[in-house]
Amino acid sequence: MIDSAFPYRIIPIGDSSLLVDYGNVIDEAVNAEVLRRFRQLQQHPLKGMREVVPAYSSLSIYYDVFQLCKMVPEKTTVFDWIKNELQHRLQQPALQTEESHKLVRIPVCYDESVAPELPAICASINISREELVALHTGRQYRVYMLGFLPGFAYLGQTDERIALPRKSQPHLIKAGSIGIAGRQTGIYPLTSPGGWQVIGRTPQAILQKTDDHNLTLLQAGDIVEFYPITSDEFESH
């Protein structure tokens, strides 16, 4: 572990990948450091690096073992070599460019017609629907990471009063559904099995398909604001 403002450890997670782990935390400052290092490695990749993927408080780095075997000294493993190269990189100051993010306002219908379990959810935490809506829409959320589905943004953190446990069994969740798991909230970009508690639904498309690839509305580091709409507004959107 390196003595720095953001202590970390580097561990293998497979034959051709490693993890830079800043601790199992949801922290905006740590996530900002992760994204700075992500951009740094994107702009100046390590030799043999194939991909770097940011998460809440970690970076996964995938590398080409066969390419690196040709340049690694004898009696040195590929992992030890790339770990050493990465440590040298991380000891250098991170890029101090202004964090690139945008503010995205997303409409949400918090109605039983799109979130049938909402009354039971409210009863489980002893709160009215109006209070839940006010708490969910009453703050800005940071996009900490994208994962599990293309364009699925993990947003944090919700008010503690509307923190909800994941479901014990996954069920089919419609595209656009707004869910809560713990103090995370998120938007299902596609119809998919999932275990988050659904409190509403947005008519806003999260994925925009082109001929070549999917473009996602949200990126790590963006800021999201939710605002309520009626069921009629949802249907007419």
What residue ranges do the domains of the chain occupy?
Answer: 9-91, 103-236
Low-confidence ranges of the chain (pLDDT < 50): 1-3
In CATH, what number does 9-91 get? Answer: 3.30.1360.40
What are the φ/ψ torsions at residue 86 (nearest 5 degrees)?
-70, -40
pLDDT for res 144: 95
- Topology classification of domain 103-236: Cyclophilin (2.40.100)
For residue range 171-208, list pLDDT tens digits in order.
999 999 999 999 999 999 999 999 999 999 999 999 87
pLDDT for res 3: 40
pLDDT for res 113: 95
Q: Measure the CA–CA gap between 67 and 144, rounded to whole angstroms.
A: 32
pLDDT for res 214: 53
| CATH topology agreement for domains 9-91 and 103-236 | no
